[in-house]
Amino acid sequence: MKKIFKLIGIIAVVAVIGFSFAACDEEDDEADNPNDFIFDETTGTITKYRGDGGNVTIPGSITSIGYYAFYRCDNLTSVTFATGSNISSNNFGGDAFPESGPSNETLKTAYSTGKAGTYTRAANGDTWTKR
């Protein structure tokens, strides 16, 4: 009996972990609706984006972007950091944006030099440039 409960527990954990990385849920119609973000109000961290992608505006009150916050959001085409944004490069979580690696690092680098403004994702998904 203990083995059955243990197996059920393992299956439940795997299911929760698998679903927790899903981003760009289609629960809301407007990508810029603040409800598209799940964030920790005490730290100002976006922990997950659940909008439908496209053009996304990150409010100026956000101070960090959590790990995997926009992960698997391949239809994200541009990110606008609102006026007043001040996210240090250390506060961009690993794999925070789609296509981890070059894309995540180039957005972090572009933002660290350009700050507020709109950054557009290249067609190949590897780079972000400020408009």
For 5-33, the pLDDT digits (tens) are 454 545 544 443 444 444 465 444 444 45
89 close to 112: Cβ distance less than 8 angstroms = yes
Q: Does residue 3 fall inside a structural domain?
A: no
Give the C-alpha distances (Å, rounded to integers) separating 12 from 7, 9, 32: 9, 5, 32
Question: Could you give the number of structural domains in the chain?
Answer: 1
Is residue 6 included in any domain, yes or no?
Answer: no
Q: Within a domain: residue 10?
A: no
Q: Is residue 4 part of a domain?
A: no
9 occurs within a structural domain: no
pTM tops 0.75, yes or no: no
Residue 43, domain extent: 23-130
Looking at the domain assignment, is residue 15 inside a domain? Answer: no
Burial class (CB in 10 A: 0-12, 13-18, 19+), 19: exposed
| Predicted confidence (pLDDT) per residue in 50-107, tens digit | 888 888 999 888 999 999 898 888 888 889 999 888 888 889 888 888 765 556 777 8
Q: Is there a domain that residue 8 lies in? A: no
Does a structural domain hold residue 122? yes
